[in-house]
Amino acid sequence: MARQVALAVDLGASSGRVVSGAFDGRLLELEELHRFENGPVPMAGHLIWDLPRLWHEVLAGLRAAAARHGTAIASVGVDTWGVDFSFLGPDGDLLANPVCYRDARTQGMLAAAEAVAPRAEIFAATGLQFMELNSLYQLLALSRGSSSVLTAADRLLMIPDLFHWLLCGAAVNERTNASTTQCFNPQAGDWAFPLLEKLGLPRRVFGPITQPGTDLGPLRPDVSAATGLGKARVILPGTHDTASAVAAVPADDPPSSRPDWCYVSLGTWALVGAELDRPLVTPECLARNFTNEAGVGGTTRLLKNVCGLWLVQQCRAAWQRVGQEWTWEQLTALAAEAPPLVTLIDPNDPSLVAPVDMPGAIRALAKAAGEPVPESTAATVRAALESVAAAVRRTLGELDGLLGRRVSRVHVVGGGVQNRLLCQMIADATGRPVIAGPVEATAIGNLLVQLLARGGTVDLRALRRVVRDSFEPITYEPRDTARWEARLG
């Protein structure tokens, strides 16, 4: 077959990039064409995402892609993080920059929601993990604050939905990202309207759910002209970055109610879970605070959010502010030489969500927990990485309980795969082999859905066959499990 080229716009909370994928019918070849920084911006008392600047960067990446691949480019699709959104008004204009999930506006909103609808009722309707950053509590904050933006809103669009609207004019809610909101019913495959109405949220802003693999149509004429992409079309990937990453896990087992593998999508967050063929909305799932999010190909991602490399990212940023310019490689090398398993903290502690001084926050949390306080750079990074590995271990133990079996292997995908020290820590902590890779799982999953979808449906096994043929993983066997067992029990 003639070589096809697709473009993935992959936006994360700390960076974004445009990646091309050239596919010859068997192998996928990646090329990063444009990379740029991202991060929430303090503005008028809130943390917002600078959507105009991000759109400017996306256009720059699309222009670079057109210069590189020309008319061979068939399609483009966008994936991002979950839970954040903005609104279009009745005239089709964007009403506001989206607010970051780390903004303080949701404080107290989880309790406010539970005063109206008990936790068990919310979980039965949504199957989602309870975190105050969820879209449900962001919306409730707007409603309780009599937001003029919410009053004027005609359509809610998640972050990738916004970019697809900017690209082609289609205002749709893609399934995998909609499922991160705690406004979506995974069993019905639609919005949880009875719950939303009970909480006083307007039904009108929630549009029809659209599946990964759907062709949204050609680029807007002005976008086509500005980028040189010509007749490229917009095709929905799994727009939640974890959905795309899990689609690119190189497993060969079909989706099951009792899978023999689990995944860790490792980046700013560590998303720990299993791929199921149906949602698992049970009292046990609620008790363990797991979440049912939609995956590519009609699957369910049963998972829990664990704070990942955010801790080290923010330590590095804090050190940079005082003139200490550590590279990632230097920090990992320092951590590798530090004594093991001295300090462990809870990486999901609320004090670590958005501290001004992450090293100081880690020290304070260690002191409060009665753990040795890490004073050096090496000890701080070691504590952060080992705390993430310990949290992954705890979460996999809970996952085993929900599945009724001990999964035998862990697939780690995403940018965190490049941290070999952390991958080995996860193998040692869990006592299971870690199959690490591909690093670019999110972009790969995005691209292959565009390239292989037919009529809005995706064959996951065919997609994963391309991943296995195209990318070689690294396996980490457990080595130091006795030390972890002695430390954690």
Residues identified as active-site:
241
Would you call 406 helix, strand, or coil by DSSP? coil
CA contacts within 13 A on the Cβ side of 100: 21
Distance CA 186, CA 195 (A): 13
Return contacts of 23-29, CB within 8 angstroms, 24+ apart: 23/447, 23/448, 23/451, 23/466, 25/1, 26/466, 26/469, 27/466, 27/469, 27/470, 28/444, 28/447, 28/448, 28/451, 28/466, 28/467, 28/470, 29/470
Strand partners, 155: 88
Q: Which helix (H) or strand (E) holds 22?
A: strand 15-23
Nearest alpha-carbon partner for 388 in 352, 338, 433, 442: 352
Distance CA 325, CA 316 (A): 8
Q: Which residues make Cβ contacts (< 8 Å) with residue 263, sequence separation at least 6?
A: 245, 246, 249, 271, 272, 273, 274, 275, 410, 411, 412, 413
| Residue carrying the six token digits 């939640």 | 240
Q: Which residues make Cβ contacts (< 8 Å) with residue 394, sequence separation at least 6?
A: none
Q: Which helix (H) or strand (E) holds 306?
A: strand 300-307
Q: What does the block give as tokens for 133?
A: 């950053």
Q: Where would I find the H helices in 30-118?
A: 51-69, 109-116
Return contacts of 42-45, CB within 8 angstroms, 24+ apart: 43/97
Q: Which helix (H) or strand (E) holds 31?
A: strand 28-37
Please give the C-alpha separations between residue 126 and each of 86, 136, 441, 489, in angstroms, as whole numbers: 21, 10, 27, 34
Distance CA 55, CA 240 (A): 18
Distance CA 279, CA 302 (A): 7
| Residue carrying the six token digits 């499922």 | 179
